[in-house]
Amino acid sequence: MLLYLGFGAATTLVNFLIYLLLSRQADLPYLMANIIAWVLSVWFAYATNHRFVFGSKTTGFLPRLAECSAFFGGRLCSGLIDMGLMLVMVDMLQIDDLLVKIIVNLVVIIFNYLFSKYIVFQHQGQGEVL
């Protein structure tokens, strides 16, 4: 659990910093900045979750592809939650995008943990956090 929280915080930091850089410094629209930040943070999350958090022992191209696909599928779901909440809260409710980004990341962290633990890395005893 501590490893997940640590790497989850790092993933959230990667996501937030990339979003901040793209939305404030590069002046990209907030949804475009959010998509790019999401893609880069998901790659970071897979690498750290696979190796350090869940200690996956998956080997071979097809099993690794299946694991990676499940991980990205779950993250796609949470990415849609992220984008939907950002759209509603920023555009419709007129809440500051940085505040919304922080709130939405908390929701996404919980969803991603549960999905990774019980679906992606659950085979061969890997669902237990190290």
Mind listing the pLDDT tens digit of every residue in the chain (130 residues)? Answer: 688 788 888 998 999 999 999 999 999 999 999 999 999 999 999 889 888 887 788 888 998 888 888 888 888 999 999 999 999 999 999 999 999 989 998 898 888 888 877 887 775 444 443 3
Instruction: Tokens for 120, please give them.
Output: 């992606």
DSSP 8-state secondary structure symbol assigned to residue 127: T
Residue 80 in any domain: the answer is yes
In a domain, 55, yes or no: yes
Beta strands in the chain (DSSP E): none
Report the domain count for the chain. 1
Please indicate, yes or no, if residue 63 is contained in any of the structural domains.
Answer: yes
Quote the domain boundaries for residue 113. 2-125
**Structural domain contains residue 6:** yes
- Residue 130 lies inside a defined structural domain of this protein: no
Three-state secondary structure call for residue 26: coil
Contacting residues for 122 by C-beta, under 8 A, at least 6 apart: none
19 domain-assigned: yes
pTM of the predicted protein model: 0.74
Sign of dihedral through CA atoms 54, 55, 61, 62?
Answer: negative
Note whether 89 and 102 are within 8 A (CB).
no
